[in-house]
A and B are shown apart, each in its own frame.
Chain A
């Protein structure tokens, strides 16, 4: 396994070097087609796929984040055995659109997985994500057993100094974080930073060792997502993260996208506040994230595109 991993790494490494060079040359010769390279994009009023299309082009296109031949992981929230309309998991249409786009810009493989809370097969199936991602061309990876997770040191972590992270995240070239916007009984909110709980094995440790700090700590890992895409098509405004009924879900029809994980969570939270009040200071991990220089909560500093459909 060790040897195989090494060989794989060496092979992809050299391949990447080659491709990197090549694409560099290509990019230089190309006219600057996607001039819009915003730091943060917010879209509202459309269907998941349409909002994604608008947002990604305002970010400069997927080719800015995924290069030809790369192995990509798309990490949605598939935590619960719930249907798409219950808004406990990321919207499957959005996941499929991202997978297709990655493949379109030349990704050699796109992998989708989550470390689910409910029984994993029901989650994969009933969330609609497994079938949507598969038909979009992705491979579904397993995440239900400790053997799929490998220990990683988190040098900048305050409370979370080591975590077992899913091998797909560790082995991929780039990954894209695709959470759904929800209220959360423990963490107050679950957005992009909290979505990292699905790439680690031992969630209990986080809960037992200052949850908010651990969430922020995990966002200091070296293998950060190249892009965070927050699904706010349907949002869970109360009784999250599972919800008990339709009264907990609002059709918000929005989407947020940024490379800055703290900024995108801040933006999503501000949007959420129009539905239900939730103080930024109470969602501890976002503020800690800024203090730890993971990103900024000051959206005025960023180039933000707001698109209404």
Chain B
């Protein structure tokens, strides 16, 4: 039975790994609207989206952990699966002896210190430390910044060989900080997993620590029974290095429920057991484990309570005036409270205008999505970014809502305008404005027309700023709204059908 279960787990984990990663790639991320929903079944997104539509996913993940332990870590987490792939691959280069894992007592103090460093700021409303260490978000950045950029490079190389069928993808936006952090994470994962199995998951990963805490109270836990002849096979297979065969103990907080031990054991001596059937006397180490589990649960509960009470952020930097949050963010505050910078929105933007912030939102908003109208503008009929966010940092907008969602407002500076400066026709801004916030009105008695901007109708899409040819300073510049609002619709006119029977010449 455990053989079947294990291979089901392996198949499922690979499938989810591939699907999650495909969500960040250009050729696949537009496949369907349902496709990004899979990102919601990740722990941190479900935690941050708890009050913005992801309660069900959080419940599923919690119940799953309460039943069978850290199934998330072995099956759902893309970074977890990636580490398994790396350790498997590393086996090829290892001697038979070096492939065997040994029991380790873990790095408890370090582990829970890291958890505190991540969770205490979260309670205070700051997501950055969590964003940096969350395995899903980090994998998202690897997918977006490394795999996605590689995809673009390959695409563009192919496009010069097949110019008529494969198009060039323009705007290679290289975000140094995000790229370096993604690379660092990737290297860390590879080193840890090649050498020590799931060491990252059981020392650094905040999700591992929290779910480890929950799984202390799991209904079914792996346990060693009397059939055990201490052959050590399970220990050598345990990538979490958490089976203490001498004391016949399994450190449940570190067990990722991979089933490798149960599948491997020739005696059937290790299997899932109902853990509430009889009261066994607890020994000292268990009490320490329980204390740590309570710390983890306390921190989790604290974070949830703080979010429910809408506490924080305790410290917040002022955003730059130019900082424009993607549609659906509602406010920069909301974005900061929910975003863990997985870059799903950045990958989804067909115009590549969303980039990882450097300091536009202040330090705590590092790598969060910010709009940049240098190479393109926010397409009027597009709501993709808002549809893919699993965290509830961007709330899904219907196309009709998006068309009125005012993420910023343009500002018109007459002295920079071509019509004023050069006395020639221009109208590039009016041409591109999708909402009719800009209209061209007669300019003095020159026969020229000059733009007139209605800032209430403007949605801040940046089409005018993008196309404005004025140099060195553009005459139309969009400034972000701290809180997004609903734009006014341009006044409707009555339709008059005009009948014409002549050519007019």
Chain A interfacial positions (CB closer than 8 Å to B): 42, 44, 81, 117-119, 121-122, 126, 139, 141-142, 144-148, 184-188, 203-213, 237, 239, 241-242, 244-247, 250-252, 254, 266-267, 270-275, 281-282, 284, 299, 304, 306
B449 & A185 in contact (Cβ 8 Å cutoff)? yes
By Cβ-Cβ distance, the 6 closest A-B pairs, closest first, are A186-B427, A185-B430, A208-B469, A204-B469, A270-B505, A185-B440
Q: Check B381 for interface membership: any CB of A closer than 8 A.
A: yes
Q: Check B113 for interface membership: any CB of A closer than 8 A.
A: no
Q: Which segment of B58-66, B86-94, B317-325, B495-503 sits at the interface?
A: B495-503
Q: Which segment of B3-11, B232-240, B390-398, B486-494 sits at the interface?
A: B486-494
Q: Check B168 for interface membership: any CB of A closer than 8 A.
A: yes
B424 & A119 in contact (Cβ 8 Å cutoff)? no
Q: Check B434 for interface membership: any CB of A closer than 8 A.
A: yes
For residue A139, which residue of chain B has the nearest CB? Answer: B164
Q: List 25 A-B contacts (CB under 8 A).
A: A42-B503, A117-B431, A118-B379, A119-B350, A122-B379, A126-B381, A145-B170, A146-B170, A185-B438, A185-B449, A205-B469, A207-B426, A208-B418, A208-B471, A209-B424, A244-B436, A245-B495, A247-B492, A250-B498, A252-B500, A270-B504, A271-B500, A271-B503, A271-B505, A274-B500
Contact residue among A118, A121, A122, A185 (Cβ-Cβ distance under 8 Å from B427): A185
Known contacts A117-B431, A142-B167, A185-B431; A212 and B425 CB within 8 A of each other: yes
B434 & A242 in contact (Cβ 8 Å cutoff)? yes
For residue B495, which residue of chain A has the nearest CB? Answer: A247
Residues of B within 8 A of A147 (CB): 168
B428 & A186 in contact (Cβ 8 Å cutoff)? yes
Residues of A within 8 A of B505 (CB): 42, 266-267, 270-271, 299, 304
Report the separation of the CA atoms of residues A138 and B490 in the bound assembly, to the nearest whole angstrom.
39
Known contacts A186-B428, A239-B436; A244 and B490 CB within 8 A of each other: yes
B167 & A184 in contact (Cβ 8 Å cutoff)? no
For residue A206, which residue of chain B has the nearest CB? Answer: B469
Q: Check B54 for interface membership: any CB of A closer than 8 A.
A: no
Known contacts A144-B167, A271-B503; A241 and B425 CB within 8 A of each other: no
B431 & A142 in contact (Cβ 8 Å cutoff)? no
CB of B189 to closest CB in A, whole Å:
35
For residue A271, which residue of chain B has the nearest CB? Answer: B504
Report the separation of the CA atoms of residues A246 and B503 in the bound assembly, to the nearest whole angstrom.
23
B425 & A119 in contact (Cβ 8 Å cutoff)? no
Residues of A within 8 A of B469 (CB): 204-208
A267 & B503 in contact (Cβ 8 Å cutoff)? yes
CB of A302 to closest CB in B, whole Å:
10
CB of A109 to closest CB in B, whole Å:
10
B381 & A211 in contact (Cβ 8 Å cutoff)? no
Residues of B within 8 A of A142 (CB): 167-168
B424 & A145 in contact (Cβ 8 Å cutoff)? no
Q: Check B433 for interface membership: any CB of A closer than 8 A.
A: yes
Residues of A within 8 A of B445 (CB): none
Within 8 A of A (CB), among B23-81: none
CB of A273 to closest CB in B, whole Å:
6
Report the separation of the CA atoms of residues A253 and B168 in the bound assembly, to the nearest whole angstrom.
38
Report the separation of the CA atoms of residues A8 and B492 in the bound assembly, to the nearest whole angstrom.
54
CB of A226 to closest CB in B, whole Å:
23
CB of A283 to closest CB in B, whole Å:
10
Residues of B within 8 A of A205 (CB): 469
